[in-house]
Amino acid sequence: MSVSLYSRNVARKLLLIQFLAVTASGLLFSLKDPFWGISAVCGGMAVLLPNVFFMIFAWRHQAHTPAKGRVAWTFAFGEALKVLVTFLLLVVALGVFKVAFLPLIVTWVSVLVVQILAPAVINNKG
């Protein structure tokens, strides 16, 4: 689920919660080893940064109110770009920086789970 499907306030709260999850995971993994903490932050940022860019992209295109067919193509292009950037960030983290695999993947999955579950908690009125 993409952050653009929510209002600006919900999207900002979601990104803040994701950032807190990245920070908490980085701190917890750094208790074992500082290198593991850096690896965890890299995994979380591989989810958080593409979400921020996609949110900015969606808000910029939302203001122009394009035709219906163009909205779907713009959304699909943005999602494809987000997945590609996520993949590239993970490849750079693993290939170039040689980060530890376990904290990278654990944090990456946990931030993805936050992305799925947080909107339900944020929108829960009762």
List, for residues 23-73, the tens digit of each pLDDT value: 999 999 999 999 999 999 999 999 999 999 988 877 776 656 666 666 677
Residue 70 falls within a domain, yes or no?
Answer: no
- Tell if the pTM clears 0.75, that is, is over it: yes
Q: What's the pLDDT score for residue 93?
A: 96
Report how many domains make up the chain. 2
Q: What's the pLDDT score for residue 56?
A: 84
Residue 48 falls within a domain, yes or no?
Answer: yes
The answer to whether the beta carbons of residues 19 and 111 sit under 8 Å apart is no
Among the candidates 37, 65, 93, a domain finishes at 65
Residue 1 falls within a domain, yes or no?
Answer: yes
- Tens of pLDDT, residue by residue over 67-126, are 666 667 777 888 899 999 999 999 999 999 999 999 999 999 999 999 999 888 887 754
Residue 113 falls within a domain, yes or no?
Answer: yes
What lies within 8 Å, CB to CB, of 67 at 6+ separation is none
Higher model confidence: residue 1 or residue 12? 12
Q: Give the domain extent around 41.
A: 1-65
The answer to whether the beta carbons of residues 51 and 3 sit under 8 Å apart is yes
Residue 73 falls within a domain, yes or no?
Answer: no
Residues 92 and 55 in one domain: no
Among the candidates 14, 36, 65, a domain finishes at 65
Residues 57 and 1 in one domain: yes
Residues 92 and 61 in one domain: no
